[in-house]
Structure formats: C-alpha cells, structure tokens
Structure 1
Amino acid sequence: MPIEKFPAGTQATVLLVDDEPNVTAALRRILRNRPYRVLIAQDGRQALSRLEENPVDLIVADARMPGMDGTTLLRKVYERWPDCIRIFLTGYNDIDTTIKAINEGQIYRYLAKPWHDAEVLQVIEQSLAYQYAERERLRLQQLTQEQNQALQEINGSLERRVQERTVELAATARLLERANRELERSYVTATEVFASLINQRLPQSRQTNQKVIQLVQAFCQAHKLPEEDERNLTMAAALYNIGKLTWRDEMIALPSDRLNKEQRNLLRAYPGIGQDLLMALDPAQEAAVLIRHHQERWDGAGYPDGLSGDAIPMGARLIKLAVDTIEMEMGMIQARPLTRQDALKLIKQSAGRSYDPALSKAFIEIAASMTEDEDNTDKSILVLDTHALEPGMIMMKKLYSKSGTLLLGEGKMLNQRLIERLQNLESHEEGGYKLHVRRPDSEEIDG
C-alpha cells in the first residue's frame, strides 16, 4: 500500500531504537529521501522519553539492548500508545524473543538482521499506510456514528415537528370546518332574509316561506338527509316564490284557480324567473335548479319544462309537496283555505299524478304529525322573553317579527348588543318576543 495514502501535508514521525549507533545510522540512511521525521534513541528509557515528548507514528526497536530489551519496550509502548505501529528488529536465530515480542508487544511486523534496504523501506511504508487507513477507518466510523446520532436527533425532531404540525393541521381543519359550516349557515340565513324581503311585498295571508321552510326542514331531519341537501332545500324553500316579485299586486292576491289566461302564463313563468334571478349567486345554484322545477308534475303536465317522474329532481318534488300544502292551507290555490288534514288528503288523492307517490306517503306522515307550536321536549332549550336573555345564549329556533321578517337565525350566538336591539324592536310591536335558546357548552365557549 503506497505511502501517499498518509495524509497530505502531515509528516510521519519514526522512532529508531538501538544501542548500536551504526544500526540507527544505517536505518536513517534508508529513510533519508522519504517524507519522515526521524528520531533516534539508544535504549528503552530514552525511547520512552522521546514518546512522551513527541507524537510518534511508528517505532523500530532492536530486540537486544542493555537495561530494557526490545520486547519490554514494545510492551510498554503498546500499553501506553497502542496506536503507534511497532516493528521488531531481531536476528535470525532469536525466534523465542520474536515470539515473546509478538505476544506481549503486539508488534505489527518484525525485521531480521541483516536486512535488505528495500524490504525495510517497504515494511515501514506499508506499516504507515496501514496506520493511516486504520485511523481513517476509525475517523469515518466515528463520523458515521456522529452523523447517525445527528440523523436520529433530526428524525426525532422531524417526527415531533410532524406530530406537532399534524396536531396544528387537525386543529386548523376543525376551525376551517367550523368556519365553513358557519359560512354555509350564513348562506341559508341570507336566503331567509331575502324571503323576509319577499314577504314585505306580499300580504300577510300570502307569506308562505317560513311555513314551507318548517315543513321541508322537518322532512330533512326526520329522514336524516345530508347537510348539503338540507341546506339546498332550505334555500329553495325560502326563495321558491322570488319570481312572483315580477307580478302586479292584484295578481299576487288572487288564488290560482281565478287567474285569467295572461295571468296563467305569468304563473307558469315564475319558477324559471326565480332561477334566473339567482344566476349570479353561486352558493344558491343547486337551490335555483330546485326552484325552477318545483312546479313540475309527476305525470309531466307541470311547468316550466314538462318534466315527469324521476326526471324531476327529488328536491323539487319535495318542495312542491310543501308549497302546495301551505298554499292550500292559506287559500292560494283555491279560494277557500283548507285545514292541514284536508290539504294532505288532496295530496294523497293526487299522488301518482301531481306528486311522486312514494315521496308523498313519507311527506304526509311528517306533515300530519306537525303542529303550529310543538311542545318543547328538549329540557336544554329555554323559552325566554328578551329581558331574560343573557350574552352567550344560542338561538335554537328562528325568530321572526310580527310582519314576518327574519330577525335571528338558528345557531346564532347572542351578545349584549343583539339583546338590546331585540328589546328596542320589541317596544315598537304589539306583544313580546319568545326566543328558543340554550346555554353554550364548553366547546362552543372555547371555540
């Protein structure tokens, strides 16, 4: 192995130990043109002193020296400087001494007297190359261990950061989900505000939207429809008659069976107009489709597109059932108002013609079980007047003014400002407000 493998810019130190000056001089001549720093010692004690004063890479020690022989010296070197390469110089007939040096001094090589200069040079060069390789191996091994330890620490740190980030992302996702629910609820509330604006144009006997919403939501909750479907159906129920705002006042007040031909044409157009009015409102696009088709009939004789059967969106079929029930109760289809029982009886008789027969049956069961003001069986819901309200309470039922305007939506958390506004509004109306509320739980307070 070539000596060039010894680190560049580093001079190896070689210690030659022999009590005969001519031997150390001969060895020095062999190493004269090599990049070594050569130290000389004439006995064992002097050699140990040299080692204590200088870092030595390789020692060549004669076997027979006065005072301390080579075997003893190399054993002491091995004990105190184990990294120093040890080479034993001995005669051909001194085999026992050589074996002892190998066993006690852990020598790397031994050279026999007389020697060949080339052999001595080769042994020293190979020994130093081996020493460098071993040192480099140990350095790389230590470096690998340190890097592995660093990687373990980094991995541990990354795992902790990933866990922390996962927790943060989960919390963020929950916040976003909550914000999204609030936003979606805001869309529904906004449509109900629009419905309240529609009511300002309609006489009180024609303000149907709130009642239609109640029927639709009762059906959704009874059949556990997905939140998105309930949201779209609620928006459609709130805005189903927005197209009627294009009518003249006298037409709004007439029952359907008293319209003339021109007015009937306007009647058939209002669902499509309602969809067009909502074209720019992206969150209401699904609801707008339901509005367009809520006057289609199961047998295809409806309007505006003459759809039939399952081609009519299911939500539109449900809206028609709710709208017709309420409008029959309020005398908007026939001149004479009907009771809920009579209206549902007509729904049942028209199933298979005007209405989806299977959906009609399920709807009638829900609508028949509802009353105008159901008893409150949920003990966590409080029914309070405005002076008993407290900030932090949550609305469990929508609150409408006497004129039908939506004042507060379900799920709204009250604050002092809202309570004072309600009390002020209440002072201008006959009778007081009754609010269905509950106190917030800890999660809502934290959120």
Structure 2
Amino acid sequence: MAMLENGPVATLLLVDDEENILNSLRRVLRHEPYRLLLATSGEAALDVFEQQPVDLVISDARMPGMDGASLLATIQRRRPECLRILLTGYADIGTTVKAINEGQIYRYISKPWEDDELRLIIRQALAFQNSERERERLEQLTRQQNAALQELNSTLEERIQSRTAELEETADMLDLAYAELRRSYVTATEVFANLVNQRLSKDRQTNTQVVALIKGYAEHYGLDERTSNDLAMAAALYNLGKLTWDDRLLAMPSDVLYKEDRARYREYPQLGESLLMALEPVQNASSLIRHHQERWDGNGFPDKLEGEAIPFGSRLLKLAVDFIELQRGMILERRLNRDEALLLQKKFAGRLYDPELCTRFMEVCTTLAPDLALADASILILDTRRVEPGMVLARNLHAENGMLLLNEGKALTQPLINKLIAFESSEGARYTLFVRKPDATAQVGILK
C-alpha cells in the first residue's frame, strides 16, 4: 500500500494478484494527485475498502478466489457512489459482462493499456464523480431549502392573511372616517355659504336653492356619494368670486354688463377657484366652480371648453345656477317664472347646455315641488307643529334670513321641535320641514 505526498485529491484502490501489474499501475499514476491503496486479492481489497475512504477502484478481472466482477459487484452494493473500473484481457468477455451487469462498472480497460488513455479515463471518472457529488449536494440543499420555504410559506400565508385582515379593517375604518369627514365638509361649506350670503341682498342669495336642485338631481339619478358631495360644495360656493364686487355690480343682470363690468363678471369663476385652491377637501369642487360658466358650443369662459371636455359637474352646475338666477333676474333684466326658465334652457340646449343633461335636468325639475323637494313618497312636507320625534330631515332647514338651522339627516327630538317652534315665534316666521318617517329612514339605511 502506498500514498502520494502532495495533497491527494482522490483515493484510488488498485487490485491485482500480480505484483508487476500493481507496480505498473503505480508507476503510471505516480505523478497524479491521487492517494493510492494496493491490494493483491478481492478479499484483501474488501478489507481495505471497509477501513479506508475510497473514491475509485481499479480491479483485474481474473484473480484467484474472488474475481474482479464479484469484487466490483460487492463494492457496488456496499457503496454505490464509489466508481468501479475493470482491467480485462480479450479472453475475459464473460467476466466483463458480469461486471457490467452486476457491478455496474464505470468503464472497462483492455490489457495491455495505453498509459495516457488510462490516466485520461481516471480523470474523466473522477470528474464525473465530483459532478455527481455536487449534483447530489445541490439536490439535498434544494430539498432542505424547499422544505424551509414550504414551512415559511405556510406561516407566511397565515401572517399575510392576518395582516391583510388588519389592513382591510383599518382601510374600512379610514374610508368611513374619510366619508364622514367629507360629509362634515359639505355641511361646513353650506354654513360658510350662508355666512357669505350676508354680503348679498336677499334676492341674490341663491346658494340654498342651487344646492337643493343639485341634491335633488343626485338623489334622483343615484350619483355616488363622492360626486354628490363635490357637487353640493360647488353649488354652495359657486358665487364666492362675486364677493369682491361692489353693490352696483351685484345688483346688475349679467346680460346688460358692458366693458369693464363684463370683464369683471367673466373673472368670477376662476377667482372662486383660486380662493378655494388651498383647501384640499374642496379641490374637486373648486374645479367644478372654475368651469361652470363654460358653454356646450365652446363660447363660454374662462377656458372656452367645448362639449364633454367640460366636467360633468360643471355642466350640471350651470343648469342649476341659470335655472335659479333666471328666476331671480340675475341674468336677464326681467325675472322669469319657473316654466319660462325651463323653456329658455330647453331652447338653448346644444348651445349653452349639454342637450342630454338638459333633458334629464328638466325631468328632475318637473318632478320637484315649487320649493324644490323631491316628489318622493317617503318624504313628507310638514310644518313644525306636525312633525314628530323620530322623523329625520330630508333637506337642510334654513331660517328666513338664509342661515342654516339644521342639516339634512338630523333626527328630530321633542326638545328640538319645541326649540324650532319657539324660534319661529321669535322670528315671526313659519318653517316648512322635509322629513322622512322613521320606517322610511330605516329602509334608506338598509339600501345604503
């Protein structure tokens, strides 16, 4: 038995019953980086094999006792990863076949061998063995990693589901909070609009009626809450830009304005937008205000938008504003009644107004009572002495001076009704309330 000294990279077991053959093999491999183990019989080779780690066995086919095929078959059963090469003569065909079938040998080499060929075969065998070992190592690593990933995935899915549920719950809460905040902004906007109206004469305080019209349209056609809120805020503040005007300009119908006055009039939509731009919750509403004097034919202001390039909310707001202002004498020198205003708007559909939207708007106006309440069977029109506790306001309630008293959705209680009656007496007024019965309110809540 012998060993090479310069850092062997593989251990080879050479088996032959003839010493001169073993010496020849050792001579051929003396400059190769292998650790060489020698045995002169099959039995001796098995003893060495059990005591030493062996990477490759080269065995002669014909040996007394255990022949090479039997030896290699035994090694294959005990340690199949150890490579096996058979040295055979031309007359050993039977042994070779046995070695191939039972020992599953890597190669067989005929005697006499070519030294270079023998060295090349051994290198190739060891390279194949190393690649197989690396493949098995990577497969094992992959199996371990897959197992770890499966375990991680199973717990990760649970964590993701739990976290997703938490995020969904948080998102729902934020949505509700944001929706409530937007509704609060709508109410605050209407209160602010009523304060602004104190700058205007009573016959020029149009915001309340425009808001009621817009809400009536939104309810009739089932607009989503966000759009409805934006429209309501735009309706409440559409004339904000007029507050810079003097009393003379405020009192003049828009169609008789001339030169500088007309130029100032055409600036009020963008001025209203600029006053609201710093308030994030009314950004959409401010854009609707900017464009509510655009015309369907493109001859409006301030940007001469045409057709559907005009935002939907601005087209609707123009219809509502003109409908109210025509009846207040704010556009033409004479005041039109309700029917005259509708006929005039119908006449200018396709020029001033979106024709399809104009048709829908007039349909809503014809289903509204003169005081702009929807002709809805679930809404009752009552005075303060006929309302009952538990009823809910279907429309905002304003005082005679235009101040908002109670906002839509407010549930009436007996103390609140008593206060309204007392306030009526002190103001010398009579309030008309638009309310829903408690059962109708419950149904609306369910539908929402």
Q: Secondary structure at the match of 2:193?
A: helix
Q: CA deviation at 1:374?
A: 4.9
Structure 2 counterparts to residues 2-17 of structure 1, below 5 A: 10-17=8-15
Q: Which moved more, 1:403-412 or 1:282-291?
A: 403-412
Q: Percent identity?
A: 35
Q: Are 2:63 and 1:65 equivalent residues in the alignment?
A: yes
Structure 2 counterparts to residues 200-279 of structure 1, below 5 A: 200-202=198-200, 207-222=205-220, 234-242=232-240, 245=243, 272-273=267-268, 275-279=270-274
Residue among 344, 367, 370 paired with 2:368: 370
CA distance in 2, matches of 1:214, 1:251: 26
CA distance in 1, matches of 2:323, 2:338: 11
Q: Corresponding residue for 1:323?
A: 324
Q: Which moved more, 1:77-86 or 1:23-32?
A: 23-32
Q: Are 2:80 and 1:82 equivalent residues in the alignment?
A: yes
Q: CA deviation at 1:214?
A: 1.4
In structure 1, stretches of 5+ residues that fail to align are 1-7
- Given residue 274 of structure 2, which amino acid in structure 1 is its aligned partner? M
CA distance in 1, matches of 2:301, 2:37: 112
With normalisation by structure 2, the TM-score equals: 0.63
Q: CA deviation at 1:93?
A: 3.9
Q: Secondary structure at the match of 1:280?
A: helix
Contact 2:293 2:318 in 1 (8 A): no
CA distance in 1, matches of 2:418, 2:47: 104
- Given residue 122 of structure 1, which amino acid in structure 2 is its aligned partner? E
CA distance in 1, matches of 2:344, 2:30: 123
Q: Are 2:31 and 1:33 equivalent residues in the alignment?
A: yes
Q: Are 2:49 and 1:51 equivalent residues in the alignment?
A: yes
CA distance in 1, matches of 2:296, 2:97: 113
- Given residue 53 of structure 1, which amino acid in structure 2 is its aligned partner? Q
- What is the CA deviation profile of residues 154-195 of structure 1, one whole-angstrom value per residue up to 9, with x for unaligned ones? 79969979x979999998988887777667656644542332
Change (3 A) 1:250 1:34: closer
Residue among 395, 415, 423 paired with 1:429: 423
Q: Which moved more, 1:225-234 or 1:96-105?
A: 225-234
Contact 2:238 2:272 in 1 (8 A): no
Q: Are 2:279 and 1:281 equivalent residues in the alignment?
A: no
- What is the CA deviation profile of residues 64-120 of structure 1, one whole-angstrom value per residue up to 9, with x for unaligned ones? 43332223222212222223232333455444434433443333444555x35xx25
Contact 2:234 2:286 in 1 (8 A): no
Change (3 A) 1:220 1:318: farther
Change (3 A) 1:47 1:197: same
In structure 2, stretches of 5+ residues that fail to align are 1-5, 278-282, 426-430
Q: Secondary structure at the match of 1:14?
A: strand
Change (3 A) 1:10 1:400: farther
Q: Corresponding residue for 2:128?
A: 133
Change (3 A) 1:103 1:321: closer
Q: Secondary structure at the match of 1:33?
A: coil
Change (3 A) 1:167 1:443: farther
Residue among 321, 343, 351 paired with 1:348: 343
Contact 2:327 2:341 in 1 (8 A): no
Q: Secondary structure at the match of 2:323?
A: helix
Change (3 A) 1:124 1:73: farther
Structure 2 counterparts to residues 94-109 of structure 1, below 5 A: 94-109=92-107
Q: Secondary structure at the match of 2:57?
A: strand
Contact 1:251 1:263 in 2 (8 A): no
Q: CA deviation at 1:136?
A: 0.5
Q: CA deviation at 1:26?
A: 3.9
With normalisation by structure 1, the TM-score equals: 0.63
Q: Corresponding residue for 1:4?
A: none
What is the count of residue pairs matched by the alignment? 404
CA distance in 2, matches of 1:334, 1:186: 38
Q: Secondary structure at the match of 1:83?
A: coil
Change (3 A) 1:32 1:345: closer
- Given residue 213 of structure 2, which amino acid in structure 1 is its aligned partner? L
Q: Are 2:17 and 1:19 equivalent residues in the alignment?
A: yes
Q: Corresponding residue for 1:193?
A: 191
- What is the CA deviation profile of residues 307-354 of structure 1, one whole-angstrom value per residue up to 9, with x for unaligned ones? 9x98998446413432235526x9x9769xx8xxx5324653686489
